[in-house]
Amino acid sequence: MDIDANEFFRQATMRICGSLDIETAMWKALEYLEKFIPLTGMNLVIGEPGMPAIETLAHVSRYKIEKMDRIIHLPPEIRSEVESHWASLQDVIIINKPEMFPAMLKVISLIDRPDMSTMTLPLKIQDKRFFALVTYLIGAGQYESEHARLLSMLHDPFAIAMSNALKHQEVLKLKEMLADDNRYLYKEMLRISGDEIIGKDAGLKQVFDVVRQVSPINIPVLLLGETGVGKEVIANAIHYSSPRKNQPFIKVNCGAIPDTLIDSELFGHEKGAFTGAFYQKRGRFERAHKGTILLDEIGELPQEAQIRLLRVLQDKQIERVGGTMPIPVDVRIIAATNRDLKNMVNTNRFREDLWFRLNVLPIRIPPLRERREDIQKLVYYFIERKSIEQNISPPPKVDSGAIDQLKAYNWPGNVRELENHVERILIQYQGQNISGPMNFEDSLLQKVETEQLDIGKQDHGTSAIEKISLHMKEIVKIVFPQADLNRLISSVDVFDNYNKVPLGLDKLVSWHIKNTLKKTGGKINGPGGAAELLEVNPSTLRSKMRKMGLISK
């Protein structure tokens, strides 16, 4: 029959290249080609240089083949024949009798039909491997030159389909590897940190009671707390305890993004939307689709961005910068701040409607000074973790009484400050090659010194006396953590002698100890001694006195 070559090529190409799933494309091609070329089935095959085997990438057939394997192993003598034959192929080769090509006998031996006609179309693509399309038909002597001519017209479509299929398979493999890596990392993260939320059964118990209640419910959450209290840790706990735990968890620090880039970062932009927008970019909300987004430092968000965030909450859709089409997003929002949003609303620095949307269930995370019972576990946890990071084995022990010293400090930087402090002391511990337990005393005294009041600049009035008293208590709490503060403060004439208090923390502590010794007549040990009055071990007191030069070493 007369065949319109252009129409044949166009229709066949549409089917061959119509799907990235190569077997789907092959079936569509078979259904069309069998109208013009007698076919029982088709194979796309690959051969590696050296040819230990031929691999079938895709196979479609009208004939039920019970034994067809994906990998066809070839004996060495047939392997060399295939390789040399394949390299010389330029056009379709017809094999109407298998014995014409011994390698084909090997393939046909897998099928219970020895009477087979084949056509082989070598596919030339940019790859070192050998590729070919093999069509076959039950029965000998079935193919003619006209069939070979039609098949040869389809070299480029089949080569493109083969190349695309290989790349698609590689992408799917990489995607599966990435998913497997993510599953592994997620399990590792839970193993390392998921069960290491210090205080969830102590100082943070009330917080985690609320977390357990809110996690399964798809509502916005507002985390309130000072810098360093662990708002991101609580956000992690909410996400990974929710039905969205296997979906993305995207974190955004609103205060770290310039105002000019905030829209692009959150909502993305279209190509050409502004100078430098050379490509389309997905924003954080699109990346968080089906998952959770943490908007940290939400109070730093500009007014214009607040309006667009309100639309996301109301309409559950965004628009990229420079775009015109709304993009639906399914995202749970967790906002966090250390600022007083209510006050910001009252002063028109934060939108009231956005405040109401976010403030559905606020969770206040207490500062470390309100949950001092967690400090011991936090210190041990940080020592263990930092020791692993710094390759210190075994982790050092902590001096007895050191935890009480740490508990006495107010930690204005909260858990983050405590972590940094432990790491710094651990580095010093390692650098000095100390074999004894870790002691935080000197470093804490330095911390208090940086915070002490400039007493010399105070008027000699009641406020100065009160501040001296409060400051003295902080010192005594660190130096003598077990002491009765009121009794200790009254044991020396602080109020009668505040004009005589020398400046400088070390001198202030030294003055305190010397005044106590005056009361005891210089006695340190035994009943009525300074150690008893200060409620501290005599050896500890002597050690402090040596450091201050009050007694000889």
How many Cα neighbours within 13 Å face the side chain of 86? 26
Q: Is the pLDDT of residue 268 over 60?
A: yes
Dist. CA 483–CA 281, nearest whole Å: 61
Contacts of 552 (CB under 8 A, 6+ apart): 546
Residue 531: the pLDDT is: 80
Please indicate whether residue 412 or residue 101 has the higher confidence score (pLDDT): 412
Q: Fold identical between 207-366 and 370-447?
A: no
- For the entire predicted model, the pTM comes to 0.55
Please indicate whether residue 213 or residue 505 has the higher confidence score (pLDDT): 213
Pick the CATH number of 370-447 from 1.10.8.60, 1.10.357.10, 1.10.3720.10, 3.30.300.30: 1.10.8.60
Dist. CA 271–CA 278, nearest whole Å: 5
Query: In the predicted model, what is the mean pLDDT of residues 466-486?
Result: 51
In 6-151, the DSSP E strands lie at 41-47, 53-61, 71-73, 93-95, 116-123, 130-138
Query: In the predicted model, what is the mean pLDDT of residues 156-174?
Result: 86
- The mean of the pLDDT values for the chain is 78
Pick the CATH number of 207-366 from 3.40.50.300, 3.40.50.720, 3.20.20.30, 1.10.10.10: 3.40.50.300
Contacts of 466 (CB under 8 A, 6+ apart): none
Q: Please state which architecture CATH assigns to domain 5-168.
A: 2-Layer Sandwich (3.30)
Q: Per-domain residue ranges for the chain?
A: 5-168, 207-366, 370-447, 459-547
Please indicate whether residue 379 or residue 109 has the higher confidence score (pLDDT): 379
Number of H helices, E strands in the chain: 23, 13
Residue 36: the pLDDT is: 92
Please indicate whether residue 439 or residue 361 has the higher confidence score (pLDDT): 361
Which phi and psi angles does 511 have, rounded to 5°?
Answer: -60, -40
Please indicate whether residue 321 or residue 394 has the higher confidence score (pLDDT): 321
Residue 213: the pLDDT is: 92
> Would you place residue 291 in the very low, low, confident or very high pLDDT band (cuts 50, 70, 90)?
very high
Pairing verdict, β 53-61 and 116-123: unpaired
